[in-house]
Amino acid sequence: MKNKRVWLGGLVAVAVIALGGYAMRSHHYQERFLPKTSVLGVDVSGQTVTKANQILRTHFTTSKLKLTDQGKTVATATGTQLGLKQDFTAQLKKLLQQQNPWALSATVLASSNDKAALTKGNAQLTSYTQTTAKQLNQTRQAPVNAKVVAQSGKFVVQKEKNGNQINANKLAAAVTKAVSADKPSVDVAATYNQPTVTATSATLQKAATTLSKIAGIKAQVKIENHVVTIPQSDLQSWLSYDGGVQVSEQKVGAYVAKLAAQYNTYGTARSFKSTKRGTVTVPGGTYGWSIAQQTTAKQLIAAIKQGQDFTKEVAHTGSGYNANGIDIGTTYVEVDVTNQHEYFYQDGKLVLDSPVVTGKPGQDTPHGVDFVWSQERNKTLRGSNDDGSAYASPVDYWMPVDYTGVGLHDSSWQKKYGGDWFKEHGSHGCVNNPPSFMAKLFAAVPLGTPVIIF
């Protein structure tokens, strides 16, 4: 019985000692981290908050992070470069409060919020990743999106191409994750910019089909009595896709300009078969025909986008046109300044003719292919004489032919016509006609009739 009491007493003593030791241990870990405790991947077992803070700060400022690509290190950053210098005291206190000091051990890992706090708002880390990405990208290829391209007379979707340029935002996220997990490296391949449009895009496939259809239409341009077919190679070169079917304004404009250079007659010199002097060259004047280029280009673009065969007549200004450039036709007034004579041909037949008086030397009647753009009765012509004095000449018939004030009119003040009379008694530039002849000419000549002066 006595031995039993001794054994129980010993057991109680051991228990007391154990409880005392355990109590002391518990008290010890009230201010220290338990064994097997790591924070942000760093072992802080048995450390106070102050000491653990020092360990963490030293770890993150001196540790190095490698940026690798295909196993090759392309850059290295220290914690200092990444701006990992903050105080961890608040985080450590929070974690210490959460641990159970009565536990024998604990593995305390930082929560996602704690990890985020390590790099949250870290402008230096952001600056480092942006600068590094920019430097590395100088020798790297950017990704190429899938696109619609012309190929052998039709349009197809060209496959996208991967690049190896680094996305700065992705790199910042990868670095943040690696630092939070205490990883020694980041594979930048995971941060590459990727093509945003791939060959599987239904939009691109549809666009290729639409463009192919347009490229195959029969597109024609009507230029008065000419019909010009736009070459399909030209048509295809005008087409592209950029969020929608595009027709190049620049290329269509250049094509229309080429047509204008070939077919315009306004302002061009003409070869003219005269009555007395054979074939002569007459400079351009007010008469002629021109393609309205901007309007025509816009109309062609609109017609092309419809994707249907078309024949589009060009917009134009002026009047008169002939395929070989001699657009005067067979009804016209001819003023032969050298011979001081005027003729009116109607449908190729001479109807009227008369000697005239043109501008005197120094005020010569301007040569050119003009036209009758107005017809007026009882007009007073005004201007200045050689001495600067003003004149006012009433006429019964007035037909202006250019835009400088030159025209055909009667001239009751002239005593004679033809010959050398114009040298001393010539006009200020107009063509003076005998009054009786001018009355007939006025009645016979239609508005818009060409007037060739040479």
So which residues are the catalytic ones?
A: 409, 430
> Which tokens sit at 340?
């001081």
Among 372, 263, 240, CA closest to 315: 263
What does DSSP say about strands 341-346 and 349-355: parallel, antiparallel, or unpaired?
antiparallel
Among 298, 232, 292, CA closest to 263: 292
> Which tokens sit at 75?
């850059």
Question: How far, in Å, CA of 253 to CA of 296, rounded?
Answer: 9
Q: Which residue has the tokens 């549809």?
A: 206
What does DSSP say about strands 279-282 and 72-78: parallel, antiparallel, or unpaired?
unpaired
Among 301, 323, 299, 324, CA closest to 313: 299
Question: How far, in Å, CA of 150 to CA of 123, rounded?
Answer: 46
SS3 17: helix
Per the DSSP assignment, residues forming a β-bridge with 418 are none
> Which tokens sit at 119?
């790099």
Q: Which residue has the tokens 């052998």?
A: 152
Torsion angle defined by CA atoms of residues 334, 337, 339 and 342, in that order, rounded to the nearest 10 degrees: 30
The length of the chain is 454
Please state, in angstroms and as integers, the Cα–Cα distance from residue 375 to each residue in 12, 77, 396, 436, 451, following that order.
Answer: 139, 90, 11, 17, 14
